[in-house]
Amino acid sequence: MKSNRRPERDSRPSGDLAGRRILLGVTAGIAAYKAVELARLLIQAGAKVQVVMTPSATKFVTPLTFEAITARTVFVEMFPQPGQESPWHTELSTWADVVVVAPATADHIARVAHGFGDDLLTTILLACERRRLICPAMNPRMWANPAVQENVGLLKRHGYRIVPPEEGEMARPGEDPGVGRLAEPETIFAEVRHLLSAPQDLRGVRVLVTAGRTEESWDPVRVLTNRASGRMGFALAEEARERGADVTLVCGPTDVIPPSGMRVIRITTASQMAQSVKREFQHCNMLLMSAAVSDYTFASTMENKIKKGQPDPEVHLVPTEDILKSMSQNKGNRIIVGFALETENVLENALRKLREKHLDIVVANNPLVKGSGFQGETNQVFIIHRTGNVQDLPLQSKREVAREILNAVMEIYRNPLPEPEQDLELDLDLELDAAEELPVPGPGLVDLDGLDIEEADDSAGVANGSAPKPAAMSPAPGGKKKSRRGGRRARERRERQAAAIAAKQTGPQSSEHKPELKPAPEPVAAKTTAVVLADQPEKAKKKKSSRGKKKAEVKTDAPPAAQPVVAEEAKPKPAKKASKKRAAKPDESGDTVAKAPKKRAKKAAKKKAEPDAVA
């Protein structure tokens, strides 16, 4: 009779798990239907999946379902019926790269934890020396039972990896939701993929990890401590171990059982923690200081318990040794990672800790954020590098956080960076707009380039009776201009005006007496006599008349600043007429000579104004 079973897949399909051999154990739970989806995900990734079921599990899902997915025979009985094929349990335990039990019931966990081997699946687990992954699934009240938790702890100590159950609705209608439902197939698949494809980039590297909290005794009963559970440090130690590192774990009191496969040093006080870290630090390549060490301890410890009825005792606290700061002084080429738990100004305080203690990386988190508490399995952190770069990680499991931390550590380990010579600033990828970037002024100068200052019109200087300042003519140091406004015509006017002033200053002047001139308004059309003379010297010479020769010549002895001639209350006249009537004429010697009617000169003198015909 021809069999309808598909042939086994001997080829190695492409995928994350191409060619990897996975043994999937299924026990008797309602969540067994999720194991079918898990098998499908593993097959799609290219893995070879062999299913082993307990006899009771076949009552929830038939073996034919898994055979259709995996194209392999499902093994149930240790001693098969005549004519049926069943390999020895030792053959299956050595065939698999990893053994996954999903779902794992409370009964199965208890039997495996205590070394029972009364069915095919338990005997395979007893004989297996490869990676083993247990995925519990049960009622929330069963999961919370102390006996179950103790059995789970035993499995962890024996080297089993546990994928904890999730919180949510139960399969049976009417049951209260809680923690106990099987993790989603995608979560289990991700864990299997990491187990089989974890990089061995830490092989040969000695990693020192601290975890847990410290306790400082006040009397034989009371202690000063904190709420750290040790979960983050244990996740770091497990991740480093799976990546091939030689891990030493220094841990204080914790709420969970430390992982296996590494050397564990137990301590209680901050002083003991400091001594252990100093002793092990000289032999390590990396220090991951995840422990929550007490900042203070009691100045003295009471020998007996302090009674309640006694007078209020005085508590004297003294600071403990700063372990990170002490280790960084003898850092050498080691990598040191610190942790900063802050409830305010998280990034600023963490960056200050990184600078003061010369750390390579500081991991900062806020326990007040939902999901980042002490007793939880998740965390949300910032990874701050000594270069100032900041990684903002989303809320995820502490194992995934540990993975990201070690990835960051390995970047520094492969590409060592020199110690920063100056204080760091956080690089949060904030870019300034081009319009907001202002030039830096030179030393001792005020930068006016960014201010909205209008160029003063040339006529304004004439109107108020003051000459343009030399600073306006010469550029500021560095070639920067003081204003962004003004065009070619204004520049030409300034150049002509400066040339005229320079020409007048070469004549006979009195440097001892420089009268102060008060500004006076003048129309825009008016021009100084000096400017007119500078523009039309030849024309003025030709217009000399005999009338001008009979007049007394008046030489200008006033300083250049007093040259502009303006009547304070006079009504302005057109520029051309004023220049013809009042234009001064230079004599042959080059001195400026002005001829004007006597009446006009007397009138100007009475008003105590500037001389009308002063050049």
pLDDT of residue 606: 60
Q: Residue 214: give its domain's CATH number.
A: 3.40.50.10300
Helix, strand, coil shares of the chain as percentages rounded to 5? Answer: 35, 15, 50
pLDDT of residue 469: 43
Window from 300-314, 386-400, 465-479, 588-602 with minimum mean pLDDT: 465-479
Window from 208-222, 264-278, 301-315, 519-533 with minimum mean pLDDT: 519-533
For residue 451, being part of any structural domain is answered with no
For residue 611, being part of any structural domain is answered with no
For residues 24 and 36, what is the distance between their CA atoms, to the nearest angstrom?
10
Task: Evaluate if residue 376 carries a pLDDT over 90.
Answer: no
CB neighbour list of residue 362: distance below 8 Å, 6 or more residues apart: 337, 338, 339, 340, 350, 351, 353, 354, 384
Banded model confidence at residue 129, pLDDT cuts 50, 70, 90: confident
For residues 165 and 140, what is the distance between their CA atoms, to the nearest angstrom?
9
414, 440, 472 - which closes a domain = 414
pLDDT of residue 545: 46
pLDDT of residue 250: 97
CA atoms within 13 A on the CB side of 115: 1
Task: Evaluate if residue 51 carries a pLDDT over 90.
Answer: yes
**DSSP three-state, residue 60:** coil
Task: Evaluate if residue 244 carries a pLDDT over 60.
Answer: yes
Verify that 68 and 136 share a domain, yes or no: yes
Average per-residue pLDDT in the chain?
76
Verify that 482 and 391 share a domain, yes or no: no
Verify that 192 and 210 share a domain, yes or no: no
pLDDT of residue 415: 85
pLDDT of residue 260: 78
Verify that 191 and 225 share a domain, yes or no: no
352, 379, 414 - which closes a domain = 414
pLDDT of residue 30: 93
For residue 533, being part of any structural domain is answered with yes
For residue 521, being part of any structural domain is answered with yes
Banded model confidence at residue 438, pLDDT cuts 50, 70, 90: very low
Mean pLDDT for 46-67 is 95
Banded model confidence at residue 45, pLDDT cuts 50, 70, 90: very high
Residue 235: name the closest of 381, 391, 413, 377 by CA: 377
- Catalytically annotated residue among 139, 145, 226, 366: 226
What's the predicted TM-score (pTM) here?
Answer: 0.56
591 Rama sector, left if φ>0, alpha if ψ -120 to 50, beta otherwise:
beta
Pick the more confident residue, 39 or 14: 39
pLDDT of residue 278: 96
Task: Evaluate if residue 487 carries a pLDDT over 80.
Answer: no
Verify that 162 and 91 share a domain, yes or no: yes
Task: Evaluate if residue 103 carries a pLDDT over 80.
Answer: yes
Mean pLDDT for 515-534 is 43
Banded model confidence at residue 173, pLDDT cuts 50, 70, 90: confident
Verify that 389 and 490 share a domain, yes or no: no
Q: Tokens 């306790």 belong to which residue? A: 215
Verify that 483 and 386 share a domain, yes or no: no
pLDDT of residue 600: 63
pLDDT tens for residues 441-454? 343 333 434 433 34
Verify that 485 and 598 share a domain, yes or no: yes
Number of CB atoms found within 10 A of residue 131's CB: 18
For residue 7, being part of any structural domain is answered with no
pLDDT of residue 403: 93
pLDDT of residue 429: 45
Verify that 186 and 210 share a domain, yes or no: no
Window from 51-60, 92-101, 156-165, 544-553 with minimum mean pLDDT: 544-553
Pick the more confident residue, 562 or 278: 278
For residue 515, being part of any structural domain is answered with yes
Mean pLDDT for 299-312 is 84
Six token digits for residue 40: 């499908």
Banded model confidence at residue 15, pLDDT cuts 50, 70, 90: low
pLDDT tens for residues 316-355? 999 999 999 999 998 999 999 999 999 999 999 999 999 9
Which stretch, 150-154, 463-467, 603-607, has highest mean pLDDT? 150-154
Q: Residue 100: give its domain's CATH number.
A: 3.40.50.1950
Mean pLDDT for 53-65 is 95
Verify that 189 and 217 share a domain, yes or no: no
Six token digits for residue 496: 């002509």
Q: Which domain holds residue 527?
A: 458-606
For residue 422, being part of any structural domain is answered with no
Count of structural domains, the chain: 3
Window from 175-184, 492-501, 510-519 with minimum mean pLDDT: 510-519
pLDDT of residue 568: 44
Banded model confidence at residue 499, pLDDT cuts 50, 70, 90: confident
Verify that 210 and 165 share a domain, yes or no: no
**DSSP three-state, residue 346:** helix
For the chain, give the percent of residues with pLDDT over 90. Answer: 47
Mean pLDDT for 45-60 is 95
Banded model confidence at residue 607, pLDDT cuts 50, 70, 90: low
Banded model confidence at residue 420, pLDDT cuts 50, 70, 90: low
For residues 337 and 290, what is the distance between their CA atoms, to the nearest angstrom?
8
Which stretch, 93-102, 371-380, 574-583, has highest mean pLDDT? 93-102
Check if 145 is active-site: no
Task: Evaluate if residue 594 carries a pLDDT over 80.
Answer: no
Banded model confidence at residue 11, pLDDT cuts 50, 70, 90: very low
pLDDT of residue 455: 41
414, 449, 469 - which closes a domain = 414
For residue 421, being part of any structural domain is answered with no
Give alpha helix (H) positions in 330-374: 346-356
Verify that 219 and 362 share a domain, yes or no: yes
pLDDT of residue 242: 87
pLDDT of residue 531: 41
Burial of 74 (0-12, 13-18, 19+ CB in 10 A): buried
pLDDT tens for residues 195-239? 887 888 998 999 999 999 999 999 999 999 999 999 999 999 999
